[in-house]
Amino acid sequence: MLLEAAGHAPWHPAAREAFSGLVDQGWADPRRLSAEGRRARLLLEAARESLAAGLGARTDEVRLTASHTQSLHAAVRGVVRGRRRSGATVLASAVERAAVLAAGRFAGELETVAVDAFGRVDAAAMAARLAGQGSTGQEAAGQGGVALAALQHANGEVGTVQPVEEVGAAARDAGVPLLVDAGSSLGHVPAPSTWDLLAANPGDWGGPSGVGVLAVRPRVRWSPDWPEDEDEWFPGGVSVPAAFAAAAALDAALADRRESEVRRRRQVARIRARVAAEVPDVDVVGDPEDRLPHVVTFSCLYVDGEALTSALDREGFAVASGSACTSGAEEPSHVLAAMGALTHGNVRLALHRSVTDEDVERFCDVLPGVVARVRDLLGAQGL
Amino acid sequence: MNAPGPGGVVDARGLRCPIPVLRLAKAAAGAADGAEIEVWATDPAAEPDIRAWARMRGHTFLGAAPLEATKHDDDGDHRAAVVVKVRVSRST
C-alpha cells in the first residue's frame, strides 16, 4: 500500500485518459507550422490555460517545464541574473526544498532564515532582512542586496504551512520578487495568492512526471543564464501529452478537492493521534493544525530509519524517510535538523487521494509492533 | 569545550545514526543527576539528534563544537568530528 505519494502520486484516471488521447493528437512539435504542429500547439495552449486557472494565474504567466526541480532552478538562476545590479543574495527559509537552496548557492549567495519547532519560518526576521535591517544568522552571506526571496507555500516534509502573505508583503515593500514553491500544496489546498514566481508540481496532484509548471508575473526582472532558445525560459519545450495530462489531472483534483481535503485531514489527524499515543518515544512533527491535509511525519527514538522503512515495506506499507541512514544519504533531512526534530527513525507519509480509512487503521495497527521489533534489534529496550 | 564532567566520554566516531544517540542513552542511564557527558561523533545526524534526544528526555543540551585535532586517533578516519555535550537530569 502506497503511503508516500509526495511528488509522485499514482496517476489520476483523468490524467491517464488525457494522455492516451494525446498520444495520437499531440505528438507533433508545437513549433511547426504543419497541421499536426498547429494541433499540438493548440492543445499545449489549452493545457496552459487550464493550468493557469488552477494556479490563479494568467495564461501568459504560465511556463511549462520538464520537472519541478527544473522550474525551481530556472526561477532562482533567471532572477539572480536579471537582478544582479540589485544584489546577489537569495534569501530563503532554512526548510526550502533542496533544489531551491542548491540553486541559491549555485547562482548567488544563499542566506537562510531560521524556523521554529514546527518548521515555520521566522516571518519577522525574514521581513526585517528584506527591509535591510540586520542579519538573519544561519547561512548568512553578509548584508548584500537581496535578488530573490524564496518561501514555500507549505513544507512537503512536515506539512507546516508558511506565512507567505506576511513575507510577501515585506518582499513587495522592499521591491524584491518572491518565489513561492507550491510543489507540495497545489491540488491539495487553495493556491497561494501572493507570489511573483509560483512553482507547482503535477506529479504531486496525480499528473505525469516529466512536466513542471512555473508562473511568472510580468513585472519580474529576469534574464536567462543559459543559451537562448525560442522557449526562453525552458529551452526545447515540453512534452505536449504530459502537459495536457497534467492540466486534466489538476482540473479533476480541484473538482473534488474540498472533499478530498476533509477526508485526508481526518486521516492525518487520526495517524498523528494514534502514533503519539501508541508508539513510545516518538516525535510527531509539524504544526498540528495549520498544515497540509495529506502529509504526516514522525521520528522514533532509537530506531534505524532504514530498518524501519524496510520492515514496513515487508508489512506492505511503502513509506518515505528523512533519515540519513535511509537511501544512503550522508546528511539527514535539513528540514528536520533545522526545526530541532529527531532525524533518525523518521517516517514520512503523503496520503494520495485513494487512501482509505481502513488503510490508515491497518497502518496504525501494525506500526507499534514494527517499531518495537526494530528497537529490540538495536538493544534499545529500557533506555 | 571544557574538561568532561563526571559522566565521561562516549566515542561514537564512525558510527551511523541512531547508534551515537543509543550509546549516549546507555551512558546516561548509568550516570548521576547533573553528570555531563561528551559524545564524539562523525555522523552529521549526531548533533541534531542529540539535541532532540535531550529535549525529549528532559536532559540539557550544552552545545557542540568541532573536536580538537589532538583527539583524532590514527585509524585513518579523517571525517570532521564534533563533540556534543549534554547534562544528565534524573528528575524527569
pLDDT one-digit tens code per residue, A303-312: 999 999 999 9
B29 to A331: CB separation less than 8 angstroms, yes or no: no
Helix (H) or strand (E) holding A180: strand A178-181
A325 contacts B45? CB cut-off 8 A = yes
Residues A32, A38, A44: CA angle, nearest 5 degrees: 100
| Residues of B noted as catalytic | 17
Contact list in B for residue A380 (CB cut-off 8 A) is 22, 25
Burial class (CB in 10 A: 0-12, 13-18, 19+), A364: middle
Same-domain pairing of A58 and A145: yes
Are A180 and A37 in a shared domain? yes
Pick from A157, A344, A371, A374 the residue to mutate for testing the B interface (most B CBs within 10 Å).
A344
Same domain, A194 and A63: yes
Range of the domain at A142: 13-255
C-beta atoms of A383 and B49 within 8 A: no
Distances in whole angstroms, Cα of residue A261 to Cα of each of A93, A235, A248, A266, A314 = 26, 36, 19, 8, 29
CA angle B39, B43, B48 (to 5 degrees): 70
How confident is the model over A201-235, as pLDDT tens digits? 999 999 999 999 999 999 999 999 999 998 999 99
Are residues A84 and A214 part of one domain? yes
What string of pLDDT tens digits covers the 92 residues of chain B?
A: 444 445 699 999 999 889 999 999 999 998 999 999 999 999 999 999 999 999 999 999 999 999 875 455 555 555 679 999 999 998 64
B15 touches chain A (CB under 8 A): no
Q: How far is B21 from chain A (nearest CA, A)?
A: 7
Residue A35 belongs to some domain of the structure: yes
- The full set of domains in chain B, from first to last, is 8-87 (3.30.110.40)
Does A3 fall in a domain?
no
Please state the rounded mean pLDDT for residues A293-297: 97
Q: Is residue A224 part of a domain?
A: yes
Statement to judge: residues A305 and A217 lie in one domain = no
Whether residue B25 and residue A378 make contact (CB cut-off 8 A), yes or no, is no
What are the grid coordinates assigned to A316, written together? 506492505
Q: What CATH number is associated with residue A228? A: 3.40.640.10
Residue A363 falls inside a structural domain: yes
Overall domain count for chain A:
2
CB contact under 8 A, B49 and A342: yes
Residue ending a domain, choose from A202, A221, A255: A255
Grid cell of A136 as nine digits: 538573519
pLDDT at A140: 46
Q: What is the pLDDT of residues A60-89, one digit of tens each?
A: 999 999 999 999 999 999 999 999 999 999
State chain A's mean pLDDT as an integer.
94
Q: Residue A1 falls within a domain, yes or no?
A: no
| A197 plus A306 within the same structural domain | no
Residues A246 and A303 in one domain: no
Q: How far is B53 from chain A (nearest CA, A)?
A: 7
Which CA distances in Å does B67 have to A127, A143, A246, A340, B74?
Answer: 36, 30, 51, 21, 15
CATH assignment at residue A312: 3.90.1150.10
User: In terms of pLDDT, which residue wins out, A136 or A314?
Assistant: A314
Q: Residue A383 falls within a domain, yes or no? A: no
The helix (run of H) or strand (run of E) holding residue A300 is strand A295-300
* pLDDT for B24: 96
Q: Which of A255, A276, A295 is the last residue of a domain?
A: A255
Of the candidates A214, A212, A208, A294, the residue with the CA atom closest to the CA atom of residue A249: A208
Chain A contact set for B16 (CB, 8 A): 324-325
My answer on whether A239 and A297 are in the same domain is no
Write down the residue that cell numbers 511547426 correspond to.
A32
ipTM of this complex prediction, to 2 decimal places: 0.84
B34 part of contact set with chain A, CB < 8 Å? no
Which residues in chain B have their CB less than 8 angstroms from residue A375's CB?
A: none
Both A168 and A262 in one domain: the answer is no
Last-in-domain residue among A255, A286, A313: A255
Same domain, A155 and A270: no
Do A227 and A280 belong together in one domain? no
Whether residue A292 is found in the same domain as residue A306: yes
Position A382 in a domain: no
